[in-house]
């Protein structure tokens, strides 16, 4: 969707009321730039938000053990309520399962969850709906709650004039996408919290993101917005209804492309995409575009693929160089938690230093894949170490004992058990004196550990965070661990051996880690999402193959069983979007569970295909096939091709849209295009209805449906651009016939798995299998054999591993030139 065009269309429909126009047009000036869709994709305003907000103060504090994620109640301050005290307010969110919604269950605002009760109330009482969308680890969601939703005066205005609905965007991405499209179109901003005013028929009439409680800095306050819209509705509801209707019509028109392509794009378009990324590449610290910086794993995936398809191409070599440098700088940056492992979501600074501290499961999963690819391309153990680091973190801090993974850790936490206000980064940051107390007494060669540690991680006595980036004054004297100098420089400066230096840093990290365990932990979002667990399943399976680590594959299998037990309805053979952990640590589902969306199916199918290639257990391949058929039934657009993000079942969704952007997560259509091509390679020609050609044709229709988007904005869909290369090159199918426990077979498998081969399909046919795994190959009775199939032609049987390696090292581009 083109933001400028839609903005102009929507503005045309606005009334002449100046204050109302301010709500829609000028409110964005007080917002922080969008987190997930940065300026490399959208030409948006990028003013930073200024705020003197005091962070969220809550009545009871919790901390978590590093090992089990269980919640432990702590002693409370004199200002907090006792356990026996009844909260002053309780609203309609109290029976929800989402941690984000439960955070708001005791606001004075009469919140309702999205559903028929609230919508019917709005119609009966003839009130506008105020829709607030956010997520549990969102810092500015916490700020708006503290400033406005906990304010009784603001709550009274909301309760008197509106039906108030709170939505967890991670729980209901379909609702989020519809109204985010409106906010993006009307204000040029996308971020959270998202604040939208709806008619009782759920049509948006105005909206924005974060509102300060009062008019300030020349920007509209939340109370002014509430009262202005309420007055407008009371005086002329018909006008608001007409605005809402026009908005929906405009969004419908903008979501339909009148100039659909009829052909699949070719090589020129991915070359064009690479050239655009080269212009966006930031040479000093890596990444694409300037701050705020995100890992954007889809961009890295595309560049690795571009490199691997033609390793002799100078642009391909540059793609590899950009990937490796970016991943190295991210790993050395403060976004990487050097003490407790894992990665924060993004950096406000250009050097990956100052950042928001929330850790998201989807980032961990996608970075595992990126660092695995980096290792496969270079065989540099540095990248493998980061893979182990991330998986250590998610298995220790985000995994339920049954195998599913929780969503995220918050950025805000209490600095101490006695404080009553949370601060951003309190769990992660250090003052120099704290580190001095921990490390100064330990020495090597008469040099204190403190001196070496501080030099390596750029620790200063005054703190290493610039006041320019500390707008709220919370980070004074604080240090975020970041590595600027090389290890070799530090070793030389202190005249240490490599072994001595490594041991010092290892010892220091252990000491600091143990000290951090004694701090209050950030909140854990214990929501378990099918889509993000599908990404993690894929990551574990790919890392297990690339690093030869069977324990990762075992973790992936455990996750797959978890999803099938808790996020799959066997009676309807459909997926569920989410499940939750209760207070006892058990897994529970909602009474009326949320049915899965496109991303749930696409990401899980990808994970299952990767797990099949990691385990050669046909059950995972078969389940992937079954889920693909269900996905086709529920989401496929039979008219124009591609998949809608949600099914047509929920009539409260006023628009069914197709995500056209690979951002913090890849789009469901991009991943589905890959999945269909892989499933086509696995298909049995005897099953014409669901065979290879049908799946490949569906992949083609996706690429055709998004061809204009790919051509006009090639950097918007890097994951789909990778799928486009996959489609044009055809898969690299490696078919091995031999016993799965035969060392000769395993050596052939190892030769495949230790290479960077995007678009690879790997299968083993064991003589014990009945029937044979693929119609292409019969189980061998004379020793293991391998076939390599490219561009619909297969090699003669290969019995020598070296022959197989030589054939695999021929890139798709080289094969095409033969």
Phi and psi for 135 in degrees, rounded to 5?
-155, 165
Of 50-59, 197-206, 316-325, which gets the smallest average pLDDT? 50-59
What is the per-residue pLDDT for 257? 65
More confident residue, 74 or 667: 667
Nearest to 347 by CA among 332, 335, 331, 336: 335
Give Cα separations from 563 to 398, 542, 545, 594 (angstroms). 15, 18, 21, 14
Q: Calculate mean pLDDT across residues 35-41.
A: 32
More confident residue, 353 or 355: 353
Q: How far apart are CA 712 and CA 705, in angstroms?
A: 13
294, 664 in Cβ contact below 8 A? Answer: yes
Of 5-9, 392-396, 412-416, 739-743, which gets the smallest average pLDDT? 5-9
| pLDDT tens for each residue of 549-582 | 999 999 999 999 999 999 999 999 999 999 999 9
Structure-token match 């794009």, residue found: 265
Q: Calculate mean pLDDT across residues 442-448.
A: 95
Of 27-41, 178-192, 769-783, which gets the smallest average pLDDT? 27-41
More confident residue, 221 or 689: 221
Q: How far apart are CA 188 and CA 205, in angstroms?
A: 15
* Coil vs helix vs strand at 771: coil
444, 504 in Cβ contact below 8 A? Answer: yes
Mark out the alpha helices in 379-475 (DSSP H runs): 381-393, 432-439, 449-456
Question: Is the pLDDT at 81 greater than 80, yes or no?
Answer: no
pLDDT band at 456 (very low <50, low <70, confident <90, very high): very high
Question: Is the pLDDT at 691 greater than 80, yes or no?
Answer: no
Q: How far apart are CA 255 and CA 243, in angstroms?
A: 18
Residues in the chain, how many? 818
Of 166-170, 249-253, 298-302, 652-656, which gets the smallest average pLDDT? 249-253
Mark out the alpha helices in 54-172 (DSSP H runs): 99-103, 116-125, 139-144, 152-161
Q: Calculate mean pLDDT across residues 382-387.
A: 98
What is the per-residue pLDDT for 54? 25
Pairing state between β 760-765 and 732-737: parallel
Q: Calculate mean pLDDT across residues 266-292.
A: 95
Q: For the stretch 477-494, what's the b/e string if a residue is b when 16 or more beta carbons lie within 10 angstroms of its beta carbon?
A: bbbbbbbeeeeeebbeeb
More confident residue, 66 or 274: 274
Nearest to 365 by CA among 305, 325, 320, 405: 405
What percent of the chain shows pLDDT beyond 70?
A: 86
Distance, C-alpha 116 to centroid of its chain: 30
More confident residue, 475 or 5: 475
What is the per-residue pLDDT for 70? 34
Of 241-255, 362-376, 663-677, 704-718, which gets the smallest average pLDDT? 241-255
Mark out the alpha helices in 394-496 (DSSP H runs): 432-439, 449-456, 487-494
Look up residue 50 and give its DSSP letter.
-
Q: Calculate mean pLDDT across residues 463-482.
A: 85
pLDDT band at 474 (very low <50, low <70, confident <90, very high): confident
What is the per-residue pLDDT for 67? 36
Question: Is the pLDDT at 190 greater than 90, yes or no?
Answer: no
Question: Is the pLDDT at 14 greater than 80, yes or no?
Answer: no
Phi and psi for 198 in degrees, rounded to 5?
-120, 150
Question: Is the pLDDT at 507 greater than 90, yes or no?
Answer: yes
Stated as kind and residue range, the H or E segment containing 272 is: helix 267-280
Of 296-310, 454-468, 598-612, which gets the smallest average pLDDT? 454-468
Question: Is the pLDDT at 729 greater than 80, yes or no?
Answer: yes
Nearest to 322 by CA among 351, 281, 358: 281
What is the per-residue pLDDT for 812? 78
Of 164-168, 364-368, 412-416, which gets the smallest average pLDDT? 412-416
Q: Calculate mean pLDDT across residues 530-545.
A: 98
Three-state secondary structure readout of 174-233: HHHHHHHHHHHHHHCCCCCCEEEEECCCCCEEEEECCCCCCCECCECCHHHHHHHHHHHH
Q: Residue 462: how many CB atoms within 10 A of its CB?
A: 11
What is the per-residue pLDDT for 597? 98
What is the per-residue pLDDT for 72? 29
First to last CA, the chain: 41
Question: Is the pLDDT at 71 greater than 80, yes or no?
Answer: no
Q: How far apart are CA 405 and CA 526, in angstroms?
A: 8
Q: How far apart are CA 128 and CA 240, in angstroms?
A: 9
Region class of 128: left (phi > 0), else alpha (psi between -120 and 50), else beta: beta
What is the per-residue pLDDT for 316? 97
Contacts 24+ apart (CB under 8 A), 424-427: 424/55, 424/139, 424/356, 424/357, 424/474, 425/357, 425/474, 425/475, 425/478, 425/480, 426/519, 426/520, 427/357, 427/516, 427/519, 427/520, 427/521, 427/522
What percent of the chain shows pLDDT beyond 90?
A: 74
Nearest to 163 by CA among 221, 79, 222, 91: 91
Question: Is the pLDDT at 634 greater than 80, yes or no?
Answer: yes
Nearest to 23 by CA among 194, 226, 159, 181: 226
Both structure tokens of 299: 């961009």
What is the per-residue pLDDT for 685? 62
Question: Is the pLDDT at 514 greater than 50, yes or no?
Answer: yes
Phi and psi for 625 in degrees, rounded to 5?
-60, -45
pTM, to two decimals: 0.90
Structure-token match 């100078």, residue found: 314
What is the per-residue pLDDT for 688? 59
Peptide bond into 626 cis (omega under 30): no
Which residues sit opposite 574 in a β-bridge?
A: 569
Of 7-21, 49-63, 603-617, 618-632, which gets the smallest average pLDDT? 49-63
Q: How far apart are CA 664 and CA 438, in angstroms?
A: 37
* Coil vs helix vs strand at 158: helix
pLDDT band at 27 (very low <50, low <70, confident <90, very high): low
Question: Is the pLDDT at 1 greater than 60, yes or no?
Answer: no
Q: What is the mean pLDDT of the chain?
A: 87
């Amino acid at each position: 969707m083109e933001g400028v065009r839609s903005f102009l269309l929507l503005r045309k429909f606005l009334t002449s009321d100046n204050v109302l126009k301010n709500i829609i047009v000028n409110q964005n000036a007080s917002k922080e730039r969008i987190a997930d869709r940065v300026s490399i994709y959208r030409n948006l305003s990028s003013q930073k938000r200024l705020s003197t907000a005091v962070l969220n103060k809550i009545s009871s504090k919790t901390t978590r053990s590093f090992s089990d994620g269980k919640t432990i109640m702590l002693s409370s301050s004199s200002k907090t309520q006792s356990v026996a005290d009844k909260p002053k307010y309780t609203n309609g969110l109290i029976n929800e399962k989402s941690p984000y919604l439960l955070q708001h269950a005791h606001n004075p605002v009469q919140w309702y969850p999205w559903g028929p009760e609230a919508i019917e109330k709005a119609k009966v009482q003839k009130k506008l709906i105020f829709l607030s969308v956010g997520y549990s680890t969102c810092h500015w969601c916490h700020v708006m709650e503290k400033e406005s939703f906990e304010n009784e005066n603001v709550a009274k205005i909301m309760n008197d004039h509106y039906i108030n609905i709170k939505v967890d965007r991670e729980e209901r991405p379909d609702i989020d996408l519809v109204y985010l499209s409106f906010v993006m179109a009307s204000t040029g901003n996308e971020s959270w919290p998202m604040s939208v005013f709806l008619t009782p028929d759920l049509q948006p009439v105005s909206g924005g993101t974060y509102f300060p409680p009062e008019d300030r800095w020349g920007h509209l306050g939340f109370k002014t917005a509430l009262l202005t819209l309420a007055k407008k509705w009371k005086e002329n509801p018909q006008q608001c209804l007409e605005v809402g209707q026009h908005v929906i019509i405009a969004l419908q028109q903008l979501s339909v492309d009148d100039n659909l392509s009829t052909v699949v794009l070719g090589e020129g378009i991915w070359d064009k995409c690479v050239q655009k990324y080269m212009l966006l590449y930031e040479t000093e610290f890596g990444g694409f575009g300037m701050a705020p910086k995100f890992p954007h794993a889809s961009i890295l995936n595309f560049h690795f693929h571009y490199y691997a398809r033609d390793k002799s191409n100078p642009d391909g070599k540059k793609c590899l160089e950009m990937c490796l440098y970016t991943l190295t700088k991210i790993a050395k940056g403060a976004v990487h938690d050097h003490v407790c492992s894992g990665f924060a979501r993004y950096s406000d600074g250009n050097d990956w230093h100052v950042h928001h501290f929330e850790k998201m499961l989807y980032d961990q999963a996608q970075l595992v894949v990126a660092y695995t690819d980096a290792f496969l391309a270079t065989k540099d153990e540095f990248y493998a170490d980061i893979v182990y680091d991330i998986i250590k973190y998610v298995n220790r801090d985000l995994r339920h004992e049954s195998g599913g993974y929780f969503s995220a850790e918050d950025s805000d936490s209490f600095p101490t058990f006695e404080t009553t206000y949370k601060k951003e980064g309190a769990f992660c940051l250090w003052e120099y004196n704290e580190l001095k107390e921990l490390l100064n007494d330990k020495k090597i060669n008469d040099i204190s550990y403190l001196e070496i540690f501080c030099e390596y991680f750029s620790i200063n006595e005054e703190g290493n965070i610039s006041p320019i980036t500390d707008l709220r004054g919370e980070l004074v004297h604080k240090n975020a661990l970041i590595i600027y100098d090389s290890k070799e420089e530090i070793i030389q400066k202190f005249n240490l051996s490599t072994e001595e230096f490594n041991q010092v840093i290892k010892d220091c990290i252990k000491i600091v880690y143990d000290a951090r365990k004694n701090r209050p932990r950030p909140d854990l979002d214990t929501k378990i999402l099918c889509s993000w667990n599908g990404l993690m399943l894929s990551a574990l399976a790919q890392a297990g193959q690339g690093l030869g680590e069977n324990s990762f594959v075992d973790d992936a299998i455990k996750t797959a069983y978890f999803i099938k037990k808790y996020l799959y309805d066997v009676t309807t053979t459909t997926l569920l979007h989410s499940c939750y952990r209760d207070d006892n640590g058990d897994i529970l589902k909602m009474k009326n569970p949320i049915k899965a969306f496109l991303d749930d199916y696409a990401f899980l199918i990808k994970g299952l295909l990767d797990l099949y290639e990691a385990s050669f257990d046909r059950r995972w391949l078969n389940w992937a096939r079954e889920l693909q058929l269900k996905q086709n039934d529920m989401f496929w657009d039979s008219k124009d091709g591609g998949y809608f993000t949600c099914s047509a079942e929920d009539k409260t969704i006023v628009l069914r849209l197709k995500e056209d952007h690979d951002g913090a997560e890849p789009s469901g259509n991009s991943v589905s295009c890959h999945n269909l091509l892989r499933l086509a390679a696995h298909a049995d020609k005897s099953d014409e209805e669901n065979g290879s050609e049908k799946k490949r044709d569906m992949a083609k229709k996706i690429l055709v449906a998004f061809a204009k988007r790919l051509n006009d904005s090639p950097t918007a869909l890097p994951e789909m651009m990778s799928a486009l290369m996959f489609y044009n090159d055809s898969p690299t199918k490696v078919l091995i016939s031999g016993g799965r426990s035969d060392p000769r077979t395993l050596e052939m498998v190892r030769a495949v798995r230790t290479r960077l081969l995007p678009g690879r399909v790997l299968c083993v046919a064991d003589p014990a299998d009945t029937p044979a795994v693929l119609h292409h190959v019969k189980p061998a009775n004379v020793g293991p054999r391998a076939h390599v199939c490219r561009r619909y032609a297969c090699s003669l049987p290969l019995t020598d591993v070296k022959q197989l390696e030589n054939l695999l090292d021929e890139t798709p581009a080289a094969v095409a030139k033969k």
